[in-house]
Structure 1
Amino acid sequence: MEFDRTGIILYTIEYKKCVEFYESILGLKKMFESENLTCFKFGQSYLMVELDDEYIGQKTETERFRTCLRMNVPNVKLLAEKLTAENIKVDYQEHSWGTIAKFLDPDGNLCAFKDSGKFEKQIADFKQNK
């Protein structure tokens, strides 16, 4: 399987502090941002810092996901269907900002496919509006 891009998503409760840290302290360059998400250039990949809006203070530290292995692909639905056919539970979501399919690897690590087209558009729009 080939990917258009790969990235790491860091889900955080301290969103603004983490964005400040990665931008000001580590000097990462922004690729794009929205209200609760900032995407940085991270070598040949990207680091997406995102507010963990699913954490409501009840999950234990070991139950809360903090990272996600992201793979940008041309056709999220097709790959989600392939995983489902392999009896892998997939959380397929279509949003205005793009399509994702979240799933767990055999060890319970969170993984996700994201549509390449909308991701590249976010980068282009950010550069244009800068």
Structure 2
Amino acid sequence: MRLVDHLVTPGIILFTQNFDACVTFYRDTLGLQQWYEKPGLICLRFGSGYLMIEGDGVAVPGGKSVAQNPNVLRFNVADVRDAAALVEKAGIAVTVSEYDWGTVGTFADPDGNMCSMKNADDPFFDLG
């Protein structure tokens, strides 16, 4: 038996310094649906899993380096350029980059944690 055989719901816990700003960013600006809230944390739906936001993190204005935070929160979207335009309309700077393996749009949350968008039509993401 492996741990994955017991997995019910995968989740990500994001520790933030700017709790209220990060909640507003992920829930209100990006539109992740609130699942539940408890004192000191909020849990948002993130695909088939969840994103839990808690305090006690560290913010880095202008964005964290990979050394400061080696993780990226990925949003697979139908079209990176269209999604980037929506995010930019909300006042968030997005950098769209083309690679031989696809198009990615990157942006940072209020704590400087990196987020990215990738076209979901990439055959690599076909889980069927």
Question: TM-score per shorter chain, which class?
Answer: 0.3 to 0.5
